[in-house]
């Protein structure tokens, strides 16, 4: 599976609504849709200029929807699904998000911290539709970078 349009990605993110992830350490299961919105919103607050990092935060739960209960290689498979649409950087962040050895990188550490905080944070993170324009901008930027002259 590869995502080829923002609309396909939006449909997948909407499908996360009502899907609960397993409980994390010391926490309760969370709704993947809500978790995605909170993680992206936290990254927007902390790193407002880094649009690709925010998008990685938004789409990071997609692998749990596509491969529930299967943690082995899920990050790599999720990266492969989003790379054609969102590019190498977003895919790389997703590929390494669950690898503690890679967290020394500032971007991965920010993503991981926002994802952890987003599990339990209580605030209005908006709605998924608020992210459509940013997803389109990142996808368009990736499309231009990958274009052949």
Average pLDDT of the residues in 116-134 = 94
What is the pTM (predicted TM-score) of this model? 0.88
In the chain, the percentage of residues whose pLDDT exceeds 90 is 61
pLDDT digits (tens, 9 = 90+) for 54-80: 999 999 989 888 888 777 778 889 999
Residues 143 and 108: their CA atoms lie apart, in Å, by 24
Check residue 143 and give its pLDDT: 84
Residue 108 has pLDDT above 60, yes or no: yes
Check residue 39 and give its pLDDT: 96
Cβ 4 vs Cβ 80: under 8 Å: no
pLDDT digits (tens, 9 = 90+) for 11-20: 999 999 988 8
Residues 74 and 69: their CA atoms lie apart, in Å, by 10
Dihedral in degrees, nearest 10, Cα atoms 112, 115, 116, 120: 170
Residue 142 has pLDDT above 70, yes or no: yes
Nearest to 115 by CA among 68, 52, 61, 77: 61
Mean of the per-residue pLDDT values for the chain? 88
Check residue 94 and give its pLDDT: 92
Domains and CATH numbers, the chain: 6-142 (1.10.3210)
pLDDT digits (tens, 9 = 90+) for 13-50: 999 998 887 655 556 788 999 999 999 999 999 999 99
Residues 48 and 42: their CA atoms lie apart, in Å, by 9
């Amino acid at each position: 599976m590869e995502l080829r349009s923002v609309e396909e990605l939006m449909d997948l993110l909407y499908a996360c609504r009502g899907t609960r992830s397993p409980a994390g350490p010391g926490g309760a299961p969370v709704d993947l849709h809500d978790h995605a919105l909170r993680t992206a919103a936290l990254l927007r607050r902390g790193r407002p200029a880094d649009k690709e990092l925010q998008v990685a935060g938004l789409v990071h739960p997609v692998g749990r929807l596509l491969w529930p209960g299967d943690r082995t290689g899920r990050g790599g498979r999720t990266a492969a699904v989003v790379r054609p649409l969102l590019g190498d950087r977003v895919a790389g962040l997703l590929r390494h998000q669950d690898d503690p050895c890679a967290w020394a990188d500032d971007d991965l550490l920010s993503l991981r911290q926002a994802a952890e905080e987003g599990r339990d944070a209580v605030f209005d993170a908006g709605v998924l539709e608020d992210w459509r324009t940013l997803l389109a901008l990142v996808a368009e930027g990736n499309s231009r970078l990958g274009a052949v002259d």
